[in-house]
Structure 1
Amino acid sequence: MKKLAALILLSFIGISLAGELDELIKFALENNPRVKSFDNIKNSLSYRENFLRSLPNPRLTFALNNLDTEHYFPTEKNPMSSFGLYLTQKYVLPVKREREAKIASERQVEVLIKKERYEKELVRNIKLLYWDFSYSHEMERIIRGIEQEIHSLIEITEERYRYGKALLSDLLLLKVELLKVRERLADAERLRRTSLERIYALAGGRLELNGGELKVLDFPENFDQGKNVEVKLAKRELEVIKREIDRAGVEHYPDLFLSAGYAIRPNIPNLITFSVGLTLPVWKGKREDMLVLEKKEIYNSKLLELEDVRLKVSGEFEALKESYRITSQILSTVEEEIEEKKKEIEALLIAYEYEKTDIREILRAYRLLWSLEFDRAKLLKELNQIVAKVEALQ
């Protein structure tokens, strides 16, 4: 029954810890300022997309035409002089405008992937700090246990000292050890406070956190490289460049210029002017074609970058997997040593009652046990931080 109750308690602690962490992540994603900024960038690109589909503003020109050197304004003596008002509109072909707008549209998707990348990075960093925070609580729990064990040793030694079976130096040694333990308690408090402040900075606000006992998380085995955010971003950059190549391919298409003008002449009929102009791809082979070739070279470069990203992601996953395996093996060894050391201490305490050992030997064994317990807590923290890093890769 005691074992069953302990299992139920540990399960409850695990559920509470996971629930607190999930609540913290949700809070951070809703309140982190950088996460919100990506929506503004996406909206700006949406406005730009609409802008690029529209025609440029027309140009209105006022002119004094054909003035002679003696009169600086139109006069009857100079029938060719006039006041002119001209309206000119540059007409960019729809195919150019549409392809330009599609680049902005693709960049909106790119921004969403960058937002996803930042969110994953944010969640990973929060998890790493949260496990540091929980580790500080575990350190404090261990230290409180150490305090109780030292107090118990002090009580035993004081009793033996009254009967002349222990030395005063034994009591002083234990009290010095108690001071060292309290220093370690201050270290745990410092780690907890610094971790908490860093969590608040990432979360964009304060949320009450309790932490809890560390527990081993399973390693995420189902890894799909294609779902990695860095791979997705590299693929999206290729799509953007494809659109830029499409746009560069129509750069030599002519732009039209439509113009209408009205000239006012003194005492003689006024003049109306209409004109149509267009750009000619005279230097296409030396200008527009170079633009296409430039974009194609960038595309080939991005293909190589994509392959590099895939290799790095796969390598990072395998490295974390191996690190998790080795750390798990070390944890198992440490836990076995803890059990052995506890049995050794039990035997030493019995021997101490019969004056077959001294307090220094017991304290040496306790120090080894405490060191192993700290190692175990640190290994648990490191395993959970490895899992957080792997989850960020997916």
Structure 2
Amino acid sequence: MKTVILSIFLLCTGTQAINLTEIIDASLAKNPSLESINERIQANKYTIAVSNQFENPQLLITKNTLDASQAMSKSVVTLKQKVPFYNKRDTNKRIAEAQDALLHEKLHAAKTKLVEKIKSEAYTIWKLDELYSIIDEYVRLTKQNIDLYESYTSIDENRHMGIMKAELSLSDLQIQKSVLRKKITSAYARLSYLAAFKVRHLDIDLSIKEKPNLLKLQKSLSENPDIKIKDKELRKQNAKVQMADLNNYPDVNLIAGYAIRENFDNYYTFGVGLSLPIYGTEDYKEEEARSLMLSIASQKADTQISVNATLESYYAQMLSSYEVYHIIEDEALPQVAHMFELSGSSISIGADLFKYIDVLFQKLDLEQKSIKAVANYNVAKAKIAQLKGELQ
């Protein structure tokens, strides 16, 4: 039923804009990389089901070659059943259940990484689209001013040079548009791969809202997927240590036999068998299991340090983008806008086109940096959300 609903959804969204939430939901429902982990989880359920079962009994049939007239001539049917030492079966089940919890945690971690990649690619598309739109607008403005400048009846050498500079700038803008078209196509291809279906149009709007707070972000790392994976690995290894300790105690083999004799009475035999751990193998294996548990505990501590360092790096990127954006929007662009107005009004009375083009491209450069700052801010935010274990 889920597959049918997903297919209908993809069919309906194939020709219209789709938002980021819809892409993430659809990808989490049907991404092949996640399906492989789901299958491993399903396979482990069978492991759990058999983890506390008894081993299959053994049936042995033997016959000797003595003459039937002798009392020792017999055919024997023997049944052997291994009975594990107390709590071994339950401990074995705990190992399988710990593996199940570990696989679920790995699935969650894979989902958070997939969501982060989808977000980052979507934000890249937003950035490229915004850059393309603004360059398209500047192409229009440049053409408009070239036409205006050429409309003057008398064009001296300086004015002719101004037109040439404007035309060269126009060519540069056209080149940038061509490069951006290629990048947008590539970005949509990457997003379609991550989403596991074809995305043709993305409906997305980005902005910079609040200033990031490092202390607040650090407090939100309790659900970090990598740390939780190490917790689950530690839980599984602890169960293995318990099993290694229990293996020092021998399992019991219950034996029951029935001897058949042609000329004498048949009889039953009963017995008990034990494995004798006298060579120290179990002790070595127990120490090995304990060492591995200490190793995982050290890995967890290292992961915690790594996650904190990564968070600080993303925080620095986020803070820098926030500051750059506000410097441009609150300080630089208002000044350039005033210069732009002055040069724009001067152009209408035949002033130097060189100065106008310079101001125009200063404004373009600032607006491009503002767009990139917004995109970088949100990319860093998406990476931090992945560290927090978020799926949206």
Letter in 1 for 2:332: E
Measure the CA separation in 2 of the matches of 1:212 and 1:177.
30
State how 1:302-381 maps to structure 2 within 5 Å: 302-335=296-329, 336-355=331-350, 357-381=351-375
What is the Cα deviation at residue 97 of structure 1?
0.9
Q: 163, 169, 178: which is aligned to 2:154?
A: 163
Q: Deviation string for 1:196-255 (max 9, x for gaps)? A: 111111112234533445311444745323221222222222211221121111112221
CA RMSD of aligned residues (A): 2.4
Q: CA deviation at 1:123?
A: 0.8
The match for 1:254 is 250
TM-score normalised by length of structure 1: 0.85
1:298 shift after superposition: 1.9
Amino acid at match of 1:277: G
1:58 aligned residue: 57
Distance 2:134 2:199 in 1: 26
SS at match of 1:235: helix
**Aligned counterparts of 1:233 and 1:141: Cα–Cα separation in 2:** 44
Equivalents in 2 of 1:186, 1:354: separation in Å? Answer: 34
Contact persistence 1:261–1:272 (CA under 8 A): yes
Q: Which of the residues 145, 157, 171 maps onto 1:153?
A: 145
Native 8 Å contact 2:54 2:82 kept in 1 = yes
What's the counterpart of residue 32 of structure 1? 31
Instruction: Give 1:75 shift.
Output: 3.9
Is residue 85 of structure 2 the alignment partner of residue 93 of structure 1?
Answer: yes
SS of the residue corresponding to residue 224 of structure 1 reads: helix
8 Å contact kept, 2:69–2:263: no
Which of 374, 387, 390 matches 1:393?
Answer: 387
Say yes or no: does 1:240 pair with 2:236: yes
Kindly provide the CA deviation profile for residues 35-65 of structure 1, in whole angstroms up to 9, marking residues without a partner as x.
Answer: 2333322222221122121111112223342
**1:69-218 aligned within 5 A:** 75-76=67-68, 80-160=72-152, 162-165=153-156, 167-218=159-210
Provide the secondary structure at the position in 1 that maps to 2:248.
coil
| 1:278 equivalenced with 2:274 (yes/no) | yes
Report deviation, 1:267.
4.7
Higher relative contact order (CA 8 A, sep 6+): 2
Flag the 1:42–1:360 CA change in 2: closer, same or farther, 3 A. same
Give CA-to-partner distance per residue, 1:303-344, whole Å, 9 cap, x none: 222222222222222232222222222222233223322222
Distance 1:204 1:212, change over 3 A: closer
Unaligned ranges ≥5, structure 2: 1-16
Deviation sequence 1:83-132 (CA, Å, 0-9, x none): 44332222223411111111111121111111111111111111100000
1:249 aligned partner, one-letter code: D
Output the amino acid matched with 2:147. Answer: E
Q: SS of the residue aligned with 1:56? A: coil
- Corresponding letter in the other structure for 1:41: R
CA 243–287 in structure 1, closer or farther in 2 if over 3 Å, else same: same
Q: Distance in 2 between matches of 1:114 and 1:175?
A: 56
2:48 alignment counterpart: 49
Q: Which moved more, 1:227-236 or 1:127-136?
A: 227-236
State the TM-score, normalized to the length of structure 2. 0.85
Matched residue, 2:292: 298
SS in 2 for 1:249: helix
1:383 aligned onto 2:382: no
The residue type paired with residue 308 of structure 1 is: D
| Number of residue equivalences | 366
